[in-house]
Structure 1
Amino acid sequence: MALRPLFETPNFVISHDAAHQWLYVTWRGEYDCVAAITGCILILRHVEQTRAHKILNDSSQVLDGWNEVARWVGENFFQQLTTQGVVAVAWVKAHDWPAQAAIDTVMQYVTQPLVDTFDDTVTAYRWLDNIR
Structure 2
Amino acid sequence: MQLELILENDNLTISYDHDNHWLYVNWQGFHNQESSRQACLLILEVMRRRPAAKILNDNSNITHTTVYLTSWSLNWLQEMYAAGLRYLAWIYAPEFPERKSTDAIVQYIENPTVASFDDLATAYNWLRRQRVGT
Specify every segment of 5 or more residues in structure 2 that has no aligned partner in the other structure, as ranges: none
What do the CA deviations read for 1:13-44 (whole angstroms, capped 9, x no partner)?
11111332210001122222221111111111
What is residue 91 of structure 1 aligned with on the other side? 90
Q: Which structure 1 residue ranges, 5 or more long, are not aligned?
A: none
Q: 1:108 to 1:116 in 2, by over 3 A?
A: closer
Shift of 1:74: 4.0
Q: Is the 8 A contact 1:64 1:99 kept in 2?
A: no
1:64 alignment partner in structure 2: 65
**Is the alpha carbon distance of 1:65 and 1:54 closer, same or farther for their aligned partners in structure 2, counting shifts above 3 Å?**
same
Q: Distance in 1 between matches of 2:52 and 2:101?
A: 26
More helix per residue: 1
> Which sits farther off after the overlay, 26-35 or 98-107?
98-107
Shift in Å at residue 109 of structure 1? Answer: 6.2
Give 1:64's aligned amino acid: T
1:28 and 1:100, CA in 2 relative to 1: closer, same or farther beyond 3 A?
Answer: farther
Which residue matches 1:76? 75
The Cα shift of 1:111 comes to 3.3
Aligned to 2:48: 48
Distance in 2 (alpha carbons) for counterparts of 1:103 and 1:80:
19
| 1:65 Cα deviation after fit | 1.8
| Separation of aligned partners in 1, 2:52 and 2:43 | 10
* Structure-2 separation of matches of 1:10 and 1:81: 23
Residue number in structure 2 paired with 1:118: 117
Secondary structure of 1:30's aligned partner: strand
Structure with the largest fraction of strand: 2
Paired residue secondary structure (2:20): coil
Aligned residues: 130
Distance in 2 separating the partners of 1:27 and 1:102: 21
Report the TM-score when normalising by structure 1.
0.86
Of all paired residues, the percent bearing the same amino acid is 35
